[in-house]
Amino acid sequence: MNTAARQNPSPIGLAAGFVLAVLVMLSLFVGVIDMPFRRVFSDAGALELLLISRLPRTLAALLAGSGLAIGGLIMQTLARNSYVEPSTAGTAQSAELGVLLVTLLWPSANLFIKSIVATTTALLGTSIFLMTAHRLPPTQPFLVPLFGIVYGGVIGAAVTFVAWQADLLQYLSVWTNGDFSGVLRGRYELLWAAAAMLVVAWMIADRLTIMAMGRDASIGLGIDYSRMLQLGLVIVSVLSALSTVIVGMIPFVGLVVPNIVSRLMGDNLRGTLPVVAMSGAILVLGCDILGRLIRYPYEIPVGTVVGCVGGGVFLWLLFRRPAHA
């Protein structure tokens, strides 16, 4: 790619930025309490509501959506399969296991401790998935997501059984169901670590693109494959664990967003990574706004809305023929 192409923003990126800006404005002023734009500057209560609730909720949706989308993109690169993501590869379920362990062993632990433990268990679970996925025959790509679904289902079943035995099933379902209604100032700031992971992903984007060619080709081109694999696992685990601990599990974001962007822009991570981040934020924030409006003044959790929308998009990706076919 030439220098001019790198400097000029793509039309897709510009369109995604415009849509995201519109959704941010809608998110700030859509809610149970009517808050016109002019009241923010004339009413101290409206400004306080904006700073304590609406703005943190919007920022949490942006950070979680972009983080999950980038996590899915990196996992697809590491697994060399476009049909996997953290919620279908055991990563999110492993993070859920970490939350349950902290709840059982240290009930008074704060969000920071829960995030550390969830990241550790997510890292362990993702490592086991990738070690097994690389042993599957590459000529049958659907075996990888199938194994991921079974693997994540086993971990999720174990978590559910332990929570049921400890009378924590309702607590766990409330904790892990993707929902932004409880996000307030002081309860989402750990998600800014996801922004740091996005910066790290941007710095190693070229190396990750080469890693998609396989271990032998990456080593032949001078890439430290083992170290980059470890770094990619850490990024995916941190992004998935933070999202699970702060807002709960949100499915399909890391699956459908990278696939759609790669079909439109190709597989160069350096060029697609910003658009993937913005598109993930658009999907999560748009579904959050939709969940506020469908049963207004009540809310539908964003995890439920994203599950319906993302599931439909995923089926469309599976059955739609490529344009060149």
Q: Which tens digit of pLDDT belongs to each residue from 217-246?
A: 888 888 887 888 888 888 888 888 888 888
Q: What tens digit of pLDDT does each residue of 128-163 get?
A: 888 887 787 766 767 777 888 888 889 989 888 988
Residue 45's pLDDT is what?
73
**118 occurs within a structural domain:** yes
**54 occurs within a structural domain:** yes
Q: What tens digit of pLDDT does each residue of 12-37 get?
A: 878 888 999 999 998 888 877 776 66
Domain count within the chain: 1
Q: What tens digit of pLDDT does each residue of 41-77 get?
A: 777 777 787 788 888 999 999 999 999 999 889 988 8
User: Per residue, what are the HEC states of the chain?
Assistant: CCHHHHHCCCHHHHHHHHHHHHHHHHHHHCCCCCCCCCHHHHCHHHHHHHHHHHHHHHHHHHHHHHHHHHHHHHHHHHHCCCCCCHHHCCHHHHHHHHHHHHHHHCCCCCHHHHHHHHHHHHHHHHHHHHHHHCCCCCCCCCHHHHHHHHHHHHHHHHHHHHHHHCCCHHHHHHHHECCCCCCCCCCCHHHHHHHHHHHHHHHCHHHHHHHCCCHHHHHHCCCCHHHHHHHHHHHHHHHHHHHHHHCCECCCHHHHHHHHHHHHHCCCHHHHHHHHHHHHHHHHHHHHHHHHHHCCCCCCCHHHHHHHHHHHHHHHHHHCCCCCC
**75 occurs within a structural domain:** yes
**93 occurs within a structural domain:** yes
**68 occurs within a structural domain:** yes
**325 occurs within a structural domain:** no
State the CATH number of the domain containing residue 220: 1.10.3470.10
Residue 122's pLDDT is what?
87
pTM of the full predicted structure?
Answer: 0.84
**42 occurs within a structural domain:** yes
**3 occurs within a structural domain:** no
Residue-range definition of the domain harbouring residue 113: 13-319
